[in-house]
Amino acid sequence: MLKDVMRKKLREQGNRVTAQREAILKIFEEVGDHLGAEDVYQLLLRRRRRISKATVYRTLELLTSMGLLRRLEPNEGVYRYELAESSSNHHHAICTSCGTIMNIDLKDLENSIQQAAESIGFNMTNYSVVIYGLCPSCQKKINAETEMISSK
Ligand SMILES: [Zn+2]
Ligand SMILES: [Zn+2]
């Protein structure tokens, strides 16, 4: 069942809790974060949900504007989504080559971030850290390619 928090949020904003919206939020609850529209569409198909691709795209955007989902852009024009609620306790490392998103834990940093905010008189309500670079498998790929070139 969909979390009550989410239902409430949907209703508060005068949006109906339609079966489609609920089905999409459930996917995120059960499968996890960092899904693209295509992933969501495929997962819905597997669950025999008849929902058009256009509706999936539209609903993801709607849920994002309502603050239930958070949209990430690992590569230009490529979007991934996650539940806004779960995104508040992890941060991201994004591979600029393949677009993989990995979670990072910054518990040790939290105090320093808090202090940094206070030092400029800021009352911090939230923060987000994104690390850009190459994921382990892309590094391996690049290393293998350079080895091939140098061994020629
Ligand atoms: Zn995430
Ligand atoms: Zn990568």
Using the mean position of ligand 1's atoms as its centre, give its distance from the Cα of residue 118 in Å: 26
Using the mean position of ligand 1's atoms as its centre, give its distance from the Cα of residue 5 in Å: 19
CATH of the domain at 82: 1.10.10.10
Count of structural domains within the chain: 2
User: Which residue type occupies 145?
Assistant: E
Specify the pLDDT at position 87.
60
CATH of the domain at 107: 3.30.1490.190
In this structure, which ligand is nearest to the CA of 82?
1
Using the mean position of ligand 1's atoms as its centre, give its distance from the Cα of residue 150 in Å: 38
Using the mean position of ligand 1's atoms as its centre, give its distance from the Cα of residue 88 in Å: 9
* Sign for the pseudo-dihedral over CA of 29, 79, 38, 68: positive
b/e sequence 40-56, b meaning 16+ C-beta within 10 Å: bbebbeeeebebeeebb
Using the mean position of ligand 1's atoms as its centre, give its distance from the Cα of residue 94 in Å: 10
Of 61, 88, 115, the one marking the end of a domain is 88
Residues 70 and 17 in one domain: yes
Residues 11 and 22 in one domain: yes
Residues 83 and 128 in one domain: no
Using the mean position of ligand 1's atoms as its centre, give its distance from the Cα of residue 105 in Å: 11
Residues 80 and 11 in one domain: yes
Residues 36 and 100 in one domain: no
Residues 15 and 78 in one domain: yes
In this structure, which ligand is nearest to the CA of 94?
2
What is the three-state SS of 23-45?
A: HHHHHHHHHCCCECHHHHHHHHH
- pLDDT tens for 124-143 read 877 778 899 999 999 999 88
Residues 80 and 45 in one domain: yes
Of 88, 104, 132, the one marking the end of a domain is 88
- Asked whether the predicted pLDDT for residue 46 surpasses 90, the reply is yes
Residues 17 and 38 in one domain: yes
Expressed as residue numbers, the domain containing 28 is: 1-88
pTM listed for this prediction: 0.73
Using the mean position of ligand 2's atoms as its centre, give its distance from the Cα of residue 128 in Å: 21
- Asked whether the predicted pLDDT for residue 152 surpasses 70, the reply is no
Here the tokens at position 47 are 């669950």
Residues 21 and 74 in one domain: yes
- pLDDT tens for 86-121 read 666 678 999 988 989 998 888 778 888 889 999 999
Report which of 125, 28, 150 is spatially closest to residue 81, judged by C-alpha positions: 28
Alpha carbon distance 12, 8 (integer Å): 6
Using the mean position of ligand 2's atoms as its centre, give its distance from the Cα of residue 4 in Å: 36
76: exposed, middle or buried (Cβ count in 10 Å: 0-12, 13-18, 19+):
exposed
Alpha carbon distance 51, 142 (integer Å): 40
Of 88, 107, 126, the one marking the end of a domain is 88
Residues 79 and 93 in one domain: no
